[in-house]
Chain A
Amino acid sequence: MQLNHKKAPINIKAALTIATSALLGTLPVIANAADDSTTAAKAQQESSWDFESAFLYYSESDRVSAAEAVINAQKTFENEEVLNLKLTIDSLTGASATGAAAQPNVQTFTRPSGKGSYQTQANETPLDDTFKDTRVQLNAQWTQPLAEDYTGSAGVHISKEYDYLSLGVNGNLAYDFNNKNSTFSVGLSYFQDRFEPEGGIPLAFASMPLAYDNEYDEYDEYDDEDGEDQTVNSAGKAAFNATRRTDSDDKTTADIMLSFTQVINRRMITQFNYSYSKVDGYLNDPFKMLSLVNSKGIAQDYLYENRPDSRVKQSVFAQTKYHFEQNVIDISYRYMWDDWAIDSHTIDSRLRIPLSRNSYIEPHFRLYQQSAAEFYQPFLAQSNSIPKFASADYRIGEMTAYTLGLKYGMKLSDGNDLSFRLEYYRQDPKNSGHQAPGALAEVDLYESVDAIIAQVSYSF
C-alpha cells in the first residue's frame, strides 16, 4: 500500500520534473515559496529584455552577395509601454547589372569613380563589379497605450552607408474596438535621404566618360610636393567632371498607411492595408546607363539614365492567417501601382507544419509579377531622338519572380527559439515589346537572376 521509496530511493521529484517538462513543453524551473514569516525569499529577477538575432546570407549567381546581421531588443515596461531597438548591419559585395546591353564583342566601361575601367566579355550582360558597401541601420520604436482602446507608437530610423544617409521618423495610432477584435490604425512616416555616390552624380543622358586615372595608365604618379591631386592626366579628369552635375543629391519619401485588422474567430485573423507613398527628388540610379545602339544593334555610346523626379505609389494588401488543428496557413496578396505605370501583384503563402511539440517546418512560396515603367527601355536607338526619361534598369522592367523556401524552427531545451531558412529566389525579366535590331537579337537582353537566401535566427 505504500510507495516503494525505501528500498529504491528514486528521486520522485526529479522524475516528475522531467515528466512535467515533457508534458508542457517547458523547461524545468524552480518554484519559490515563502512562509508567512519569511517573505524575503529570493525573488526571480524579471527578464527585462527579449532579444532576437538573425544572420542572413543572400547570393545571386555571379552577381551580388549580401550578408546581414540583425539584432532586435524589446523591453516591456510596467504600463505596457514597449521599447523596441533594432540594429541591422549588412555588407554587400559583387557585381550588378549596369543597364548596358550585351554585345557580340568585348565592351570596356569606366568605373563609376572615373578611376579605372573594366571589361565585359562578348555576349555577357555588363556587370559593374565594384559594388562594395556596408550599411548600418538603427531603428528605435516606442509604443504605449494612450487612452482606453488607443495605442500610440513613434519611431526614428537612421541608416548610413558609405555613400548614402537615410533619416526617418514615423508615428502610428491604433484604435481597438468590437471587444478588441477589430483594430484600425493610421500611420505616417517621412524619410529624408542623401545620396553621395563615388564619382558624383552624372548629368542625365551624359555620355559615359573615359577613365582618367586608369591603374594601368602610365600617368598614375601623383605629384606629392604640390599637395594637390595634380596628374598629367588632369584633362581626363576635367572631361570626367564635365559629365557630373553635382556631388550629392536628396530625395524625400512621405508615406501614409491605413490598416484594418479583424479577428474572425479563434482560428482566423485577417488584415487589410492601403498605403500611399510620395517620393520626390533624385530618383535615378547614378550607376545605371543605357547602350545607344546603331541600326545593326552595335553600341556606339553609353548614356546615363534619367528618371522623373517624383513618383507616387499606392498599394492595397490583404492577409489571412488560419490556424487549423495543427497547421497554420498564412496567405497574402498585394497590388501595387504607381504613376510610372508600374503595377505589380505579389502572392505570398506560408504553411507552418508542426513536427513535434517543439519543432516545425514552414514551406514558403512567393510569386511576383510586375509591368514595366513607361520609360523603361533595354537600350536607346540612334535612329530615335533621346526621350525625356529612360532607364534600362531591369528592376523597373517587366518581370516575374518567385521564391521557394523552407524554414525549420525548434524550441531549444532552454526555451529559446532557433530557426533555419533556405530559399531559392528567381527573377525573370521579360521583354515588354521592344524590337531588338541586328546583334541585339542574338544576345540575352533579359537575363534571369538566380539567388539563394540562407538565414539563421535565434531568439533569447
Chain B
Amino acid sequence: MALIKNPLSGGGGGGGSISVVNGIIEQYKASSGTIDANTFVEFVNSEAPGVGEDTKLSDTTYGGDMISAVSLGNNKVLVVHNGDGRYDSSHVYGVVVTISGVTITYGTDTQICQNYNDNYGYNRLSAILVSQNKVFIAHPRDYLSTAALYGIVVTISGDIITVGTDSQLSTSQNGGTDVVSASLVSENKIFIAHNIGRDISYSDSKLAGIVIIVSGTTINIASSDTQLSRTYFAGGGVSATLVDAGKVFVGHNGSSSADSPGAICYGVIASISGTNTITAGADTQLMITGRTYHNFYTAVTLTNGNVFLVSTGGGNTNAGYLVASVASTTITVENSAQLSTYSWGETSAGAVVLPSGVDVFVSHRAADGILSAVVVTIEGSTVTIGNDTPISSIAYSGSGSSPVVVGNNIFVAHTATGNYLYGIVSDLSQIYRVRPATSAPKMLGLTAGSLTDTTAGDVWVLNTNGSE
C-alpha cells in the first residue's frame, strides 16, 4: 500500500488524518474502516493547533471592544483598539506587539486620541499601514447627532507610538457613527467607507466613501464625501478591500425597502479616478438570507482579484461566506454557503489572506464565545473549508478579532473576558488545510509511519493497488 500525491478530481472522502509540522507530514494515522482504491482523500489536520500563550495586552477597560491590527514588518504588529469605556468615555489606544515564534512581547499601551464612540463590538476602527513606520487610523468620534468620521496618523519607532493630529474627515450628518473600513488605494491614498445619516438601525442610514491623502502625519481630504448606495439601512458592517487599481469593493448592509425588517449583504464597487472623484457601480444584493440590523462583513481580496467575504450577524445567525468576482464595476456572486454553525452574536469575524493567495484564515466567535479559526481555500469558484478549531480557551475570547500574518505564524488580536485586549500567536502550519499540490503527481513511499519529500498543501491519494 502506498500514498501517492495525486490531486484527482471527484470521489468521496476517506478516513485518516495527518499532522503537518513545519511543512513536513510526519505521520499518517489511518482511521477505522476501508478506503477504496483511488478514493480522493482529503487529509485535513485534526490535531489541536499549536498556539502560544494568550496574552493580555492592555489593562484599559473595554480595551477589546474594537480592534484593528496591522503588520509593521520585522515581526511587529500595531494593535489599535478601544479603551476606557463605552458611549461617551472611550478613546483610541494602540500597542506595539513583537512576535518571536509563538511568543509575544509588547510595549506600552498608548492613548492615541479621544474617540467618544457610542457602542461596542462593531468594526469601527480601521488601521492601514501607509509607510514602514506610519499607520493611518480611521475612527468615529462623538455619537448621535454630532458623530463624525475622524482620522489620525501615528508614527512607530520601536515600541514607541507618537501621535499626529486627529482630523475630522466628514461633515455629513452623523457621518461615521457606526462603521469604518479603510483601504489603501495607492501609496499614500486611502479610501474610507463609512455610514452617514443615522444609526444603522434606521432606514435613512446610507453608505458613503471618501478619499484622503496622507503626507507625513498630515491628512488631506482629497474627495467629497460620496454616497455609494441608495439602499436603506445601508452602511452597517461595512468592509472595504482593494480589488484592482483604483477600484475598491465595499461589502455592506442594505435593504431595498425602508419597511424591511433589517438588512442583508450588498456590495458595490467604488472607483477612484486620478482626480480623486469617487463613482459607484450598481449596488448589488449578494445574499438573500440572514436579514438583521447587525450583520458584519469582513472582505478580503484573493490573488486572482476575487473577493472572499465572511458574514456574521446578530440574532444568533450562522456565519456565511461568499466569493464574488469583479469585472469593471459589475459584481458577480460565484459561490456562497454557510461557513460555521457556531459563529453568532453582534461581533465581526477577522480574515486575512495567507501567502498562498487562495487560502484565507478566518477567526471568529464560536461555541461559548471562544475564539476559533478556520482556513478556507478558494480555488476558482470552489471553496473548501478546513477544520474549525478553537485557538483560545478564555471566555468570550471571540467577541472580536483581527488576524495578521507574521512570518510563518498568525497573530490574532482579540477580545477576551472582561472585554480586555488579548493577543495570541498560532503556528500557521498547524491549522493549514492540506490542499491540492501544484506539482505533477508522483509516487511516494510510506515507510515506518512517516512521509517525507512533501510540503504542507499537498493532497494525497491512497493507492491500494501498489505496494510502494
> Is B truly associated with A?
no
State the A residues within 8 Å of B (CB).
none
